[in-house]
Amino acid sequence: MEKNKLVLSISILLGCIIVGGFIYAVQVNKQRSIEGQQLLERQDERTQKDLENKRAELKLKQDECESLSDGVRKRWNNIIGVTYDSEFWKDCIVTYTDTKTGEVQTSPLKFMQDTR
């Protein structure tokens, strides 16, 4: 009888330790998952903010190009548009129709302004 009580007590104790260990492991895993998800969200927010900053900078440069292009538009009547090209030229680009060939050409704005 004493031996059965001891075995039962040890079995209950071991069962509690196993269940407790399992619950602890689940909670640790859950916490790591939450922390990983929060890290991804912060990285996504940073990426979004960087994209917004780049868009705002591009818009600012585009507006600057438009304001600089007024003199060029008045001087030549074949201007199609003026844009800021951040990839290739990293400058204001004028798109115009070549009066001799009729082809659409592009050129940096600084090459088309008066040098006077």
Q: Quick check: is 113 in a domain?
A: yes
Q: Is residue 64 part of a domain?
A: no
C-alpha 99/C-alpha 83 separation (Å) is: 20
pLDDT in the model for residue 89: 59
Asked if 41 and 75 sit in the same domain, the reply is no
Shared domain for 4 and 48, answered yes or no, is yes
Give the pLDDT band of residue 83 (cuts 50, 70, 90): confident
Contact predicate 62/84, CB 8 Å: yes
If asked whether residues 43 and 91 sit together in one domain, one would say no
Range of the domain at 28: 1-53
48 with 74, same domain: the answer is: no
- 78 and 33 in a common domain: no
**85 vs 2, residue with greater confidence:** 2
Name the strand (E) or helix (H) holding 60.
helix 2-68
Q: How far is 2 from 67, CA to CA, in rounded Å?
A: 97
Residue 35 counted as domain residue: yes
Percent of the chain with pLDDT strictly greater than 90: 41
pTM given for the model: 0.52
Q: What is the total count of domains within the chain?
A: 2
49 shares a domain with 1: yes
The answer to whether 79 and 96 have CB atoms below 8 angstroms apart is yes
Residues 12 and 41 in one domain: yes
